Structures are given as structure tokens and as C-alpha cells.
Amino acid sequence: MTTRTKLIAGNWKMNGLKADLAEISGMCARLATLKNSPVETLICPPALLVAEAAGLASLSKLQIGGQDCHMQVKGAHTGDVSAAMLKDAGASHVILGHSERRADHGETDAMVCAKAKAAKAAGLTAIICVGETQNERAQGREYAVVGAQLAGSLSQASQAGDTIIAYEPVWAIGTGLTPSLEDVAQMHNFIRNELARAMGEESQGVRILYGGSVKPGNAESLMSVANVDGALVGGASLKCDDFMAIVEALKL
């Protein structure tokens, strides 16, 4: 059986000024005191803070990532950030296709797929987000929606070393609501099977994160579900104490 190291990833979204880098320094210091932690950690701050955050975290166990990248290597794309720029700034990962980007910027699965290819070419690990809306779940379409997002967003070139999936039911993001553990188990099992169909044996190494209102109080139970290989955490990743409480909940 493949063992997958759990990943606790924080998504700061459009939150954080330079002063908030103190939270990153705090996380690095706290992680240094955790001996033999079985968990990998990552914070994805706003693009403007990536370089400084990566500098602060360079000698620590905390990895730094971006929240999006352009699908092209470079060129006339005002305001955009390329995968190579993130890598150059010290990022190791990039979140792609978050539901907020799909909604705010009309990102399609094909665009996410192109971005995943760009991320891989730049040496970044892509965290590809999928998840159904409340309406889609009410209509019983959650598996069809997530299956289509996966099929459309994964590229032929996607491999375990450069691809992580985050299942984030849109209705659970920022709402304090979470699916039942049974629902999480079923969806993660479904995603694991879809990955196997798409990637074969290679898929065993792909981690599937759960995201949507993960907090210190529910992290341990959510992370104990089969095929939940970590968390993508929004609000509770902004403060060192909250983020570390989630990491420490998995200390075992």
C-alpha cells in the first residue's frame, strides 16, 4: 500500500500585508519544535508576499506556494503572474482552479489544465481544486460535476510528484458548514477511483486534500477519513495559532 504524507496547506486568499509575515515566522518557529511530525505544511500567501515569505521559511519545514498562475510562460498578459515567476520567488506549489477563481474569473477546466501544464513545466506542484455547489449537490449531481472537473483539469502529463487534488465543496468554503464524514469518505473514494482510471498505478501517490471550513476543532476527524490526505485551509490558516493547532491535531 502506498503511504501518502499528509499535507496541511493554507490558502490566504486576498488577505495579508507585510506585517502578517510575522504569522509565517511564527509558524516556522513552531514547526521547528515539532519533532517527527508526520505532516507536510504549506502556506500560499498573496503573490506579492511569496518572495518574502519564501525567504523567511527557507530554512524551515514550511513550504510557500502561489494561489494561481498564468498558462503562458511569459508575454503580454497585464497583471498576471507566471508559474516561472512563482518558482523564481521561492514557491514550491500553486493552487489552481479554486472555486473563487472559477467564479470570479470564469476559469474553465481547460484553463486549469493549461495552467497545470505550465506549473509542471516550471517545476511547481499543482493543487487542483474541484467541488460542487450547493445547488449541484441538491440535484444529486456532485459526482458528475467533480468527475467532469477532474477529467477536464488533469493533463496527460500529470504525475503524482506534481499533482495534488483538493476537494472543496463550494458550499462549505467560509461558511462553517462541512459535509458529513460519510460524504467526505464517499467523495474522496470516488476521486481516488477516477484518478486511477485517468493515471493508472501512478494515481496511488496523488494526495487528495479536503477543503472547506477546516478548523482546529474538526481537523482530526476529517483527516482520519480514508483517502483524505490533508487539508486546504482558508480562514484558519491566517493565524499561526489556528494553523498550528490543525497541524498539531495530526501529530499522532
Give the footprint of ligand PGA on this chain (CB under 6 A).
11, 168, 173-174, 211-214, 232-236
Assigned C-alpha cell, 61: 519545514
* CB closer to ligand PGA, 84 vs 115: 115
At closest approach, how far in Å is the CB of 133 from ligand PGA? 13
- Minimum gap (Å) between residue 180 Cβ and ligand PGA: 16
Q: Map residue 120 onto helix, strand or coil.
A: helix
Please, which residue, 89 or 130, has the CB nearer to ligand PGA?
130
Element (H, E) at 137: helix 134-138
Rounded to the nearest whole angstrom, what is the least distance from the CB of residue 172 to ligand PGA in the complex?
6
Catalytic residue among 40, 98, 136, 194: 98
What residues have CB less than 8 Å from 159, skipping those under 6 apart? 120, 199, 202
CA distance 100 to 46: 14
Contact by Cβ (8 Å): 97, 128? yes
Closer of 46 and 55 to ligand PGA (Cβ): 46
Q: How far is the CB of 232 from ligand PGA (least distance, A)?
A: 5
* CB closer to ligand PGA out of 65 and 235: 235
For cell 491535531, name the residue: 249
Whether 168 sits among the annotated catalytic residues: the reply is: yes
Using N-to-C axis directions, what is the helix angle for 109-122 and 142-153, rounded to 10°? Answer: 40
The answer to whether 105 is a known catalytic residue is no
| Residues carrying an active site annotation | 98, 168
